[in-house]
A and B are shown apart, each in its own frame.
Chain A
Amino acid sequence: MNKEEIYILSAKQISMQQPLCEEWMEHPLYPSEPFVRAANPDFKPYIPPMEARRMGPILKRAIAVSLEAMRESGVSSPEAVITGTGYGCIENTELFLDPLCREGESLLKPTCFMQSTHNTISSQIAIRTGNHAYNNTYAHKHISFDSALYDAWLQFGLKKIQTALVGGHDEMTPVFYEILRKGDIFGQGVEVCGEAATAVVLGCGTAAGSGQPLCRLAGMRILSNSDEETLNVALQGLLSRAGRTTDDIDAVLCGVSGNPTSDALYLSETRRMVGEKPLLRYKHLFGQSFTASGLGFYVAAQCLKRGFIPDFLYVDEKQRLSGAPRCLLLYNRGDGHSRSLILLEA
């Protein structure tokens, strides 16, 4: 469907690595705790301190990383602002829920409620940049970012938009982490719980003109059915639409995280889909979260831009590519039914 080529014009991150830069490609930080919060940048250049005081970390990071991505891309007014967030604004939800459950239904603060809904992020970006364009938010577990990207991708295909800001954001508080750990959602193997803030600006046609894009979004699929046949059909459909074959894929970036159960599935499913391709990982550096896949997208885009994959991203270093990567498949699966396949090309 996409006659127009869609380019990634910029991609920025705030995570447990050094914020708003690609320092991790040279000097990665390895998490030493099972839960590591994001390294916050100085928010002053992006948000007046008085306003920042009232915001949860997810919102501050989303605004900072989005403004940086927009600045770098030269797109100040994207034609769509779309956010993915799995859990949304946890801190403000807690600040409202805790007194509600402990002290009952009185004297609750409207500010926390106002900033508790998932769409606070996309709408605050719109408010702060005066952007009246298409604005949407997805909250669907580990495909939240992928759903936001998919929405943009459809609209590029329909020629409704020429530029889009797509984000993936999740925060994690110590209280909520403890709940998830006690509920067995975190704490398997050596998986590290992290926080994610990714902002990507995409453009097509003349909108992609000025700068040097990081890479090209050649296609994507989201699927819910978990059987092997469906996955293979989806991949072949995706490749044939992009005019590619399995042979063109240089490596597969997947969500191997240190959770033994899901890692085993990632390895076996990827092998069945594409055979013996080099497998790349990123969650050992960026942690696990519902929108970790946004950080994976960022990692792949930066590797394609630099024509270089750092050794520490290979699951097996012996599989190291000899030349620059040209085509990366991103495979994202969670504990539920949903999967996503994304094809990025240099």
Chain B
Amino acid sequence: MGAAAPVWITGSGVVSAIGLDKRECLASLLAERSGVGEVQYLQTSHHEFPVGEVKLSNGQMRERLGIAPDALTTRTALMGMLALQEALQEAEVSAGMLPETAFISGTTVGGMDKSEQYYLDFLSGESHMEYIALHDCGSCSEAVAQHFGEWAMVTTPSTACSSAANAIILGANMIRCGEADMVVAGGSECITKFHLNGFHSLMILDERPCRPFDATRNGLNLGEGAAYLVLESAEHAQRRGVPAQAVLSGYGNGCDAFHQTASSPDGEGAFLAMKEALEMAGLSPQDVGYVNAHGTGTPNNDLSESHALRRIFGPQLPPFSSTKPFTGHTTSASGSIEAVFCLLAMRNGFIPANLNWSQPIEEGLVPVTATREAGLEHVLCNAFGFGGNDSSLLFSKPVGR
């Protein structure tokens, strides 16, 4: 099978703990400035766990978006709107084009931030009942979409920490099938007490800043944010006169089929996802200039992912890093947030650092520990979810740039 026709990326937008747009995120990545710190916005008793919060209150986000203070909304939806706004602007997508455009947005917590706040009210039925309509994942995506207008189609992949990557895969399949000329895909997720305590109950949160691929790693730091890519067929973008920022040259989705919350020792799902992405692009492992690893900082993920990387790349591992020490683990949004970081790295010629690293794990893999210049043609971006929902995206520089 030959390489598939690449899907163009004509715009992207991001909001994360290290910045409210791409410019700010880029500056933080280059300056090695982490956004992880003591919890500030989430109402939780767990101040011992550092988190990567987006540095705006819900009220401040509403102000930026021009949303009335009394309009019903969730933090996941607000962050999604901020990121989507930037993506649409860069790709020069006007409101008039949205009825021909699909919106695919991954999330898992959906409106849980409000549900956990008002659950006891829901039970008594006495107040805040209007928020129950915002609880499910789909209503979050609908809210983000409708802030900008009518769309051709809206749906919501929900595969935990690979949701946004799977959104991008569906969007790309739609374009390659000729079902859509343009799809905006990614994900959004705010931190909730629900999953902060869930990850805590699984004992995979670190009380120190997370240290992916380090021998002393002891868990992850939760993060939040949103990011979207504007995917477009080459013909459609050329007709509009909009350049490709990058191309999505391959992608893969494999299932680890091992355990509900742990990765297999040999990283089978991760291996299959990366292998499929490379095969689809018609590239060999040596062509990859950088891997943005899933690298959560849990002992289990990083070891499993290391095995998968070794199986794909052999002894000649390309430079790799996890950017989660910058942002925390942004769960459902991580696949698209880190995809945007990959695009920034390719565009600006650098490899972002794997912060907080000091000594190699048993597999002996050494990540890039200081941000450094690098010309990048092809980068691989991994996103793995609970249940072994593993996906990998392969981005390439557009020809002639």
Interface residues of A (CB under 8 A from B): 1, 81, 85-88, 96-98, 100-102, 104-105, 108-110, 113-120, 122-124, 126-127, 129-141, 143-144, 147, 150-151, 154-155, 157-158, 160, 175, 178-180, 182-185, 222-226, 230, 290, 336-338
Contact = CB atoms under 8 A, between A and B. Distances in A.
- Contact size range, B: 35 or more
Nearest to B151: A224
B138 A222 contact: no
A97 B116 contact: yes
B136 A87 contact: yes
B159 A136 contact: yes
A131 B142 contact: no
A175 B207 CA distance: 35
18 contacts: A85-B158, A97-B194, A102-B120, A110-B203, A117-B158, A119-B158, A119-B386, A122-B387, A126-B257, A127-B260, A140-B137, A140-B154, A151-B173, A154-B173, A158-B173, A222-B153, A224-B150, A337-B154
Contacts of A137: 157-159, 389
Contact of B123 (A147, A157, A179): A179
Contact of B255 (A108, A109, A133, A139): A133
B255 A135 contact: yes
B257 A158 contact: no
A134 B255 contact: yes
Nearest to B199: A113
B350 interface: no
A119 B193 contact: no
A96, A127, A132, A180 interface centre (most CB from chain B within 10 Å) = A132
Given A1-B179, A114-B260, A119-B389, A108 B119 contact: no
Contact of A123 (B138, B139, B197, B260): B260
Interface stretch (B126-134, B287-295, B358-366, B371-379): B126-134
A288 B289 CA distance: 51
B367 interface: no
Contacts of A230: 99
Nearest to B386: A117
A100 B194 contact: yes
Closest 8 CB pairs of A and B: A123-B387, A113-B198, A182-B125, A140-B138, A135-B255, A141-B138, A139-B137, A139-B158
Contact of B136 (A117, A139, A179): A139
A259 B173 CA distance: 36
A151 B108 CA distance: 18
A223 B145 CA distance: 13
A143 B155 contact: yes
B178 interface: yes
Nearest to A121: B387
A341 to B, nearest CB: 12
A124 B159 CA distance: 12
B277 to A, nearest CB: 13
A70 to B, nearest CB: 15
B170 interface: yes
Given A96-B194, A140-B141, 7 more contacts: A100-B193, A108-B200, A122-B159, A122-B387, A137-B158, A155-B173, A179-B132
